[in-house]
Structure 1
């Protein structure tokens, strides 16, 4: 006979755990269909209402981990990566900041957390773009050798400290790889030696590989 204070469970999973997971699923489902919060208004002009930008030079931030998004905003605030100048719609009220770094620097910790939570709850939509199959095949080998440990499953997972690579714009990815290689963008110590070994052709191959992985989502 079971003790009265024994925790209830379904199979081997405690009911409390199931309820917590269910609550989080409902929270993210509701946020996925929600309108962007007020603090995100300057962001959506470039990144899109759901974080899926149509611009080749602008990343799709939807679906990235909240940890990653918060970290990138902090990196921008410290000017540890290139600060893109912002061009805001004339119909919109322009924020006081004139570039990405100043915009991030003006955010409070609470606003950064709110932005990260909103965009991380959105569904990532890969860019529909042509792929050089031969280069992608070479890129797959480079990825497996140098990148897979952190950017697993072809760069498609939204891990804590790794953004989504599969399905990002090729133009954006190439620019970022070049910035990493040139030391113009902050990167973890474990990543730096890998970047130093990459040639321009290696980077082109990686970009094609990640584009090919994005095509698998269609």
Structure 2
């Protein structure tokens, strides 16, 4: 009678693969930490407009804390390369390397987004458009979330914490296709038929997000 023996090759391969996988994850985490640290150093000049840790207390400048890293990197490259124009940002980004852009994006993406001064009053029309849309206009919540928190994995930016003036100007820039770079073209048909009144209403509603 033969005694049954068990071969363990699969377990060995599994263990090796698991160790290798954990090593890769650890390496990625260390790389991310390094990028965030380097980004903190590279982003020192950004705080003057965007606030400490990317939470702006100036309505003229948007909060960028917690935005998707890919979105932030795309916007910085667009400013640097002249695809997106802004007198201040074009100059700030002009001499940034690709590595610096990735590091700055990683730093701000890792920061907690805080809404410093949410508006007390919104807009019924803006709420309807944001959450439900209308014929020919997709609901903003479909991409940016019901509370304007965005979608990090998909690269859709958070809307909460943006001032009404900034949001309204951004939507008007998309409407006239003056804002380019990244996923900008997705926005063109979304806002093409929005009136000034509807844009102002949307901006007022978005400003109430906490």
Q: Which residue of 154, 164, 168 maps to 1:170?
A: 164
Runs of 5+ in structure 1 lacking a partner? 9-13, 85-98
| Number of residue pairs aligned between Structure 1 and Structure 2 | 194
RMSD of aligned Cα (Å): 3.2
Q: Which runs of 4+ in 1 moved over 6 A?
A: 14-32
Offset at 1:124? 0.6
Q: Is the 8 A contact 1:127 1:168 kept in 2?
A: no
CA distance in 1: counterparts of 2:68 and 2:42, whole angstroms: 18
1:185-218 deviations in Å (ceiling 9; x for gaps) = 1153332111111111221222233233x22xxx
Tell me if structure 1 keeps the 8 A contact 2:59–2:166: yes
CA distance in 2, matches of 1:83, 1:22: 39
- TM-score normalised over the length of structure 1: 0.72
| Contact persistence 2:56–2:63 (CA under 8 A) | yes
User: Which of structures 1 and 2 has the bigger CA Rg?
Assistant: 2
Between Structure 1 and Structure 2, which shows a larger proportion of helix residues?
2
Cα gap change, 1:171 to 1:20, in 2 (>3 Å)? farther
Residues 23/35 of structure 1: CA separation in 2 closer, same or farther (3 Å cut): closer
- The aligned runs of 1:54-69 (5 Å cut-off) are 54-69=57-72
Contact 1:48-1:54 at 8 Å conserved across structures: yes
Name 1:92's counterpart in structure 2. none
2-side partners of 1:20 and 1:126: how far apart? 35
* Cα distance in 1, alignment partners of residues 204 and 22 from structure 2: 40
Partner of 1:110: 99
For residues 147-199 of structure 1, what are the alpha-carbon distances to aligned partners after superposition, in whole Å with 9 as ceiling and x for unaligned? 34432344312434321112322221112112212222115333211111111
C-alpha distance in 2 between matches for 1:29 and 1:115 = 12
The 1:173–1:55 alpha-carbon spacing in structure 2 relative to 1, beyond 3 Å, is same
- In structure 2, runs of 5+ residues without a counterpart are 1-5
Q: Note if contact 1:135-1:208 (Cα within 8 Å) is conserved in structure 2.
A: no
